[in-house]
Amino acid sequence: MRYKRLTLDYIYVHGSGDRNFSGRNVLTFGGWRYRGEVNAKSTLHYLKLNVTNPFAPSHKNGLDWSYGITGMFWKGSVKGITTGGRYVEKSEEYGIPVPTLGLGVHTALTPNFNAYAHISGLPLGGYGHFYDFETGIRYNPIQPLAITAGFRRIDVNVDHDDDYGKLTMNGPFAGLRYDF
């Protein structure tokens, strides 16, 4: 959704499955090391609030800078037998707000088609990084509706002492945007 220069993105990802860890393969989760048949579930809510500011206002072509905040909330659970032979069910959840800065470019291909690219994120120094890159085509059949298709990559890598988190989501996407 977009209102003037303010945009709001929401992504929901859920996955679950069973896997058999055998031999030297183990799954470490919540302080436990699992081996054998393991059931895992994961859910991610990704919310991005962004304000876009043009360097030089233009409807046809433009270069923009942006600032915003991205919130990520993840919940995961694992059920299975640990390396010690004990059945353990463990779940964890984490939430984090990340301030971001970004750059974007867009160009009008026709009156109703635009090509665009945008990257935003935050380097975290020795603690890792966060970035969100998107490129694609936007089609405006009627105002206020837009249809988008493109490629997006979200990369989070955080490392502090013994705690670490890594999330990479990328691939093609299609979406709808409504301009208020």
Determine contact, residues 156/165, Cβ cutoff 8 Å.
yes
Confidence of residue 24 (pLDDT cuts 50, 70, 90): confident
Look at residues 105, 123, 106, 121 and name the one whose alpha carbon lies nearest to residue 159: 123
Q: How far is CA 34 from CA 19, 31, 92, 94, 179, in A?
A: 11, 10, 15, 21, 48
Look at residues 104, 114, 7 and name the one whose alpha carbon lies nearest to residue 60: 114
Confidence of residue 158 (pLDDT cuts 50, 70, 90): confident
Nearest 10 degrees: CA dihedral of 69, 76, 167, 64? Answer: -20
Q: What is the pLDDT of residue 72?
A: 92
Map residue 1 onto helix, strand or coil.
coil
Determine contact, residues 102/68, Cβ cutoff 8 Å.
yes
What is the percent of the chain where pLDDT is above 90? Answer: 77
